[in-house]
Each structure stands twice: as structure tokens, then as C-alpha cells.
Amino acid sequence: MKVIIDWSEIQSPDDYFSQLLPQVGAPDWHGRNLNALADSLVTGGINKLEPPFCLINLQTGSVPPELQDFVTGLNEIYDEASSNGRKISVFSE
């Protein structure tokens, strides 16, 4: 399964979650922060789409500089999930 994120449309973490959460079938009560994302992807049992899946980042050159720490946090979560056997393959274009 593929999850596609278009960074040309993201100006804030909330924009990111607006793209990601519907694609993974997150419940309405899912938090829109890195801690909630870690709970749902590393621990699991929350979203309809569970790892393994492929995350495709489009237009990564469009990432605003002020979101670099957020992107680092995302990558740490994806790495942690993968190291716990919940493989998330990340590709950037």
C-alpha cells in the first residue's frame, strides 16, 4: 500500500496530518502531533492501514525551513516503527 504526501501543499504540521491521517484511516480522535503519530505507527492498533506500507514524499524541495525539525521527528518515528518490525519504506521525489 502507498501513502502519498505532497509537500508543495504543506505549510504547517496540521497540513501534513490533513494529508496523512485520512490515507492511513486514522480515527477522528487521532491526535495531530508527533507523539500521537508515534503511538499509532510504532505501537499500532489504531489506524485502518497498519505498517508495512510505502510512504512517498513528493515535492520535498518545497518543505518550508521552519518545518525541518518536524520532518526530522517524522523520520525518527518511521525509523522506530521499522526497527520494531512495522516497516515503513520512505521514498522522496
Neighbouring residues of 70: CB distance < 8 A, sequence distance ≥ 6: 13, 16, 34
- 5 forms beta bridges with 57
Domain ranges, ordered by start, for the chain: 2-92
pLDDT digits (tens, 9 = 90+) for 25-44: 999 999 999 999 999 999 99
Q: Which CATH number fits domain 2-92: 3.60.20.10, 3.30.460.10, 3.30.370.10, 3.40.50.10490?
A: 3.30.370.10
In this prediction the pTM is: 0.95
pLDDT digits (tens, 9 = 90+) for 4-20: 999 999 999 999 999 99
Cα end-to-end distance, the chain, whole Å: 17
Percentage of the chain lying above the pLDDT 70 cut: 100
